[in-house]
Structures are given as C-alpha cells and as structure tokens.
Structure 1
Amino acid sequence: MGSAGVPVVVGLDNGGTSNNATVLTLDGQFLVDGLVEIPSEVQAGPEAAIAALARALDGVLAHTGVPRDLVRAVGLDTPGPASATGVISSRGSTNFSQPAWRGFDVRGALERRLGLPVTYHNDGNAAALYAHHVHFGPEAMTRSSVSAIVGTGLGGGVVEAGRVVAGAAGMAGELGHVHLPLDGLLAPEQPVPACACGFAGDAESIASLTAIERNLLPYWLTRHPGHPLAAEPPARAAKLVRGYGERGDALARAIFTQQAMALGRLFTIAANFTDPHAYFVGGGVVEAAPEFRDWFLAAVREHTVLREEQAAVATFALVPDRDMAGARGVAIAALEALRGGPAPQPLVA
C-alpha cells in the first residue's frame, strides 16, 4: 500500500483482453504484489481502449492508496508491431485489428488523456527489461541481456546497460523473425516451417504456440499415429502439448526439444552480435511444472554455442512473474526516463 507521500510511476500493460497495472515508487519499491486487472476494451476501438487504460491507472492507485497527485510518469506497453514512440503499425496487428488502430499513436493519446509523460515499449521489450533488472539488481545498469518470450508468437528484447535497445524504427529485439540454420534441427522429411509473417525458417516458426499448431504438431503426429492429440481440434491440441510434455510424453518432448534447439540457435546468433551477460527465456513454455521448466532451460543452454570466455561469464535464467512482467517493465522504463541524466542509478531496490 502507498505510504508517506512518496512519488510514484505507474506501469500499464495493455493486452487483447485485459489491462494490468502496477505502481513503482521513485526509490524503487513495487507496491503491487499481484495482478490488478480490468478489461482492456481494445476490440471496441482506440477511444474505448484509452478510456480503459485511464481507468486502470485510477484503479491501481485506489488499490494501493496512492493519491493521483503523487504520480510523476506512466509506462505503457502493448503488443506489437508498433514504433519506438508507440504508433501502431499501419497494417494493424492481431490485437489492434480495426482500421481505426492502423497508425494510431496510442502513447500520445494516453499522454493527452492523463496529462502525464508516458514512456512506451512493446510487451516483449517490457518483459525483457523487467527480467534484466530483477536478475541483476544493483548491477543492472552495467549489464546486458537478451530475452526470448515464447507465447502465441515469439517476442523478445535486447537490454544494454539497463536500457532497452529500441532501434531506429522501434523494431529491435524482434527475435522471432531472425532466420535460423535448420540443419540438424528438423527431423527427416520434416517440412521447413512457415511463419505467419511470411518468412520460412525463422525462430517464431518453430518456437511459439502458433508454430506448434501449424508446423510441429502436424508433423510429429505423423510419427506417432494413434496419439490422443490427433483427436483434438488443432488449436486445442497445441495448447495441450505442454501438459503432455510435463508428463514426459515422447511426442511432446520431441516438439519442445526442437523449440529449445531453436532458442539455443537464436541465442548463439545473439551471442555473436551483443555478447550479453544473460539469456532469459519467458512465456507460457516455462510456466510449467518445475521438472519440465528446468529440463527446457537446460536444453536451451545445451544448444547455445558460446565461446569459452563467454560461457564463463554468461547466465541462463527464466523471466520471473510472467503475468506481471510487462507492467513492471514499463514502470521501470518510466522511472528511468524520469530520472534521465548521464549516470543513471539502479532502478529497483
């Protein structure tokens, strides 16, 4: 709960169904321990969605007992694709499908609605930023990391010296669309996987829920005739694969082995571009039973090829608090933007 009149920033995580909000004090303390959610209203269009984000801010302030006049800035994340300044792609996206969303400045609209400075990141970058600061703590501003967030698609983020690398158009860290070497990754006669973006053989075409449904499960069912998942509708079957994997099912483990190999090859590429201190894996694939989660992360590590010098200093870890990572990440970003200056200090106590 709020205390002693300490100024705060608010983090708002916008999703296709819900908005989640958090509060971070200027001295680096989160005041929310769990989800504080309301409907996001994104399917009702921009005006309704911006109003819902404003309600989310008011709701989390009421939840924490923080007066509105103590809010100094707001962080916002949404699913991509969007520019570095929060302008939704001119082609729209899965969550922003109506024509009114195409090219819509969601960050600017929220800033005008709230009368507060708003910092924007996409949801993958937000989760990456949170993982980085939680993992490194006081050393976060002197460390680097790469995160892969496995969900419906494959998001990610690159963090250098405690800050997200956004890129010129805001599209840095789109790890899902990095092309991977497929030799030894695909099984005999397995078709080259296709991505919804139009690429073939990129990371998302293998390491995502969509990839399981469209590419991996159809192939592996031909190798395991009579498997119970063959009787399920494809979308439902894809969601059930993780449960089978937790129980050691051979088909499911084959699928997740390919996904782990894909992430390992992705991190191998990242190692030669950014040479990060840490590699983080997040998303639904690791929101699983401990044995499966540990097995999967170990498999990613096994298939990441590092030089001896890199292996001596690099760590592999999971993105913590997946449901809260987005809101917390953009709260950290808002705090960093508010502090500014040439010599930033650690952002999380």
Structure 2
Amino acid sequence: MQCWYGIDVGGTKIELVAYDGDLRELHRQRVGTPTRDYAAFLQAIAGLVHGADAALGGADSAIGIGLPGVRDRVSGRQLSANVPVLTGRLVGDDLQALLQRPLQFGNDLQCFALSEAHGGAGAGYPSMFGAILGTGAGGGFCVAGQLVAGANGIAGEWGHWSIPATLLQRHALPVLACACGLRGCLERYVSGNGLALIHEGRGGEAIDATAVVALAAAGNALAEQALAVHRDLLGYSFANLILAVDPHVVVLGGGLSKLEQLYRDLPAAIAPYLFQGVRVPPILPPAFGDAGGARGAALLARQHHPAR
C-alpha cells in the first residue's frame, strides 16, 4: 500500500504521521527536537522514518517535511529562530543523502495552511489564507488547493510586515526588534507573546497571553486595555493581508485561535482599515489544530509525488 509521510518539526518536538491516499492516519510517532546537536537532529528524523517503515512494511514513501523558518532557494541553507541548530545548514541536502527517497520541503506555517485547504476549514473555497497566531505570527496562502510559496518560499510571512509609526504612537508602543533582523514587525505585537508584552507595558504583571485573557474576562482593567490594543493591531494586520491577497476565507491557527471572541470581534476590528466596498472574508477556527502541520507536510509530498 502506498502512503505518504508528513514530518512536522517544531521547537520542542518532531512528529511523523503517515497517511494513505484518502488521508487516513496509519502511523504516528514523535520525539523531542535536538536543538543543539545537528547530527542528533538528522538522526532523530531518520529514526522516525525508519520506525514508520518498519511499522508499515515499506521503505519508499515520499516524505513532506515542514521546517520552521526560511530555506534560501539559492544556497539551500536554512534560517531558523525556533531550532537554531539548523541555521546555516544544508538541511535538505543532508536529509536527502541520509534518507535516499523523494523529499519535499515547506515551512511549518505553510503546511498548516495546506492542511486546512484540504478537508479542513478552508476546503471548498477558491483561495484561503491560514494565519498562525501563536508564539509568532505567519501563515500560508493556497489557491485551488495548491500552496503558493513564492519565489523565495516566503509567501504568507505577514508577521514580518512593518507596523506603521502612527499606530505605535496611538497606542504608546515602542519599536521592537525582531528575531528576523528587522524592527517593528507585526508579530512582535499581534502574536501571543505580543499580547503579553502589551499587557506588561501597560503596567500589568508579566504573564502569558492565556492569563491576560483570563484576567480580562474577570474584569481586570489593564488586561481589558491590552486586549483592546491587541484587537486593533490585529484588525490593521488582517486588513492589510486582505488588501494584499484577497483570500476567500481566513483560517486561524496557533494558541490564540482558541479564543472564541476573536471570531466575533475581528471583522469589526478589520473593517475600519479597509476602503469602501471591500468585505471582510469569513474568519474560521481550524479543523485540525496542532495536527495540521504533519498532515500538510504529507499533502505537500503527495502533490509533488502522486500515487504511482
């Protein structure tokens, strides 16, 4: 039986899931991510693949791998803030030499979008944008079920658009440096970490985004203010995303996607930043949640290496 493997590489875990042609799960295994030893990282991937081969009785499955960060299309070298041991490495070449089978690479955010475009919340729409709101902010764009990666493979990196000075001044926010090397990137403000920083900057205690939301629900004034600022910045961000790619639907992912109020409040926060006649598309929760990364990676492999 032919199957496809999807591997989702994160900052703390690497997960392999094998699927058949109908996207039924056949096998799942995860291990911790080696973040300081590159050889151990490669062997962790190889161990998952060999384990799946043994469990399923095959050794020729095409593999899709969702890596965090950006892969330089010319040099092939990886840039990854979440798994720094990968930065500067020829990860694709090294894994190809080690595994000796068809491999297809995307980033983890794009794999999430591709998964939601196939049987997920974005299924049936001519185009969809999968927007991650977690420790960072980014995403992927799919048209007719196909991932649009772009010339550099970075299509969907809306979290690294710059926030305008007027908006920072309105909310008395500093210009923050970003791990990408730029300053004032949207993800520093609209991610879960961004919400926590906004709350702390207004005199609140140093807590995570989930705790800020809980405090606001309990009537804490500082937390309510932080959520209002965060909602306005998200409205601006998503309005620009709509103006840039005009998706038929937006599917949220990441930790903040679990906040029910986002789906209620975001359309009204987006609308003031759009010109007349532009409608806000549906904004939906994900169908697959955290499982979408490996599933999308397997879909990427299947699209490029269809059944024989």
For the superposition of Structure 1 and Structure 2, which TM-score range results when normalised by the shorter chain? 0.7 to 0.9
Corresponding residue for residue 282 of structure 1:
253
Corresponding residue for residue 266 of structure 1:
237
**Deviation per CA, 1:14-48, whole angstroms, max 9, x where unpaired?**
1222111111212333335xx63112223211x21
- 58, 67, 73: which one aligns with 2:57: 67
Give % identity: 28
More deviation in 52-61 or 192-201? Answer: 192-201
**Deviation per CA, 1:189-239, whole angstroms, max 9, x where unpaired?**
4434553445444311211233245x4123221xxxxx5x2xxxx4x5556
Unaligned runs of 5+ in 1: 1-5, 222-226, 288-292, 341-349
Q: Partner of 1:206: helix, strand, or coil?
A: helix
Tell me whether 1:129 sits opposite 2:114 in the alignment: yes
Q: CA 1:254 to 1:67, structure 2 compared with 1: closer, same or farther past 3 Å?
A: farther
Cα distance in 1 for partners of 2:245, 2:201 equals 34
Contact 1:297–1:316 under 8 Å retained in 2: yes
Tell me whether 1:332 sits opposite 2:303 in the alignment: no
Amino acid at match of 1:298: R
Tell me whether 1:311 sits opposite 2:269 in the alignment: no
Amino acid at match of 2:248: H
Tell me whether 1:80 sits opposite 2:72 in the alignment: no
Aligned residues: 304
Cα distance in 2 for partners of 1:300, 1:113 equals 46
Contact 2:128–2:250 under 8 Å retained in 1: yes
Q: TM-score, normalised by structure 2?
A: 0.85
Cα distance in 2 for partners of 1:256, 1:321 equals 26
Q: CA 1:66 to 1:333, structure 2 compared with 1: closer, same or farther past 3 Å?
A: same
Cα distance in 1 for partners of 2:76, 2:246 equals 30
* Shift in Å, 1:320: 3.2
Cα distance in 2 for partners of 1:60, 1:248 equals 50
Equivalent residue runs for 1:1-349 within 5 Å: 6-31=1-26, 36-45=29-38, 47-60=39-52, 65-69=55-59, 71-83=60-72, 87-89=76-78, 92-98=79-85, 101-133=86-118, 134-137=120-123, 139=124, 143-181=126-164, 183=166, 187=170, 189-213=172-196, 215-221=197-203, 229=205, 234=206, 236-237=207-208, 240-245=211-216, 247=218, 249-287=220-258, 293-305=259-271, 311=279, 314-339=281-306
Cα distance in 1 for partners of 2:75, 2:114 equals 17
Contact 1:85–1:107 under 8 Å retained in 2: no
Cα distance in 1 for partners of 2:168, 2:261 equals 18
Contact 1:87–1:107 under 8 Å retained in 2: yes
Unaligned runs of 5+ in 2: none
Cα distance in 2 for partners of 1:242, 1:257 equals 11
Contact 1:88–1:103 under 8 Å retained in 2: yes
Contact 1:127–1:325 under 8 Å retained in 2: yes
Amino acid at match of 1:301: P
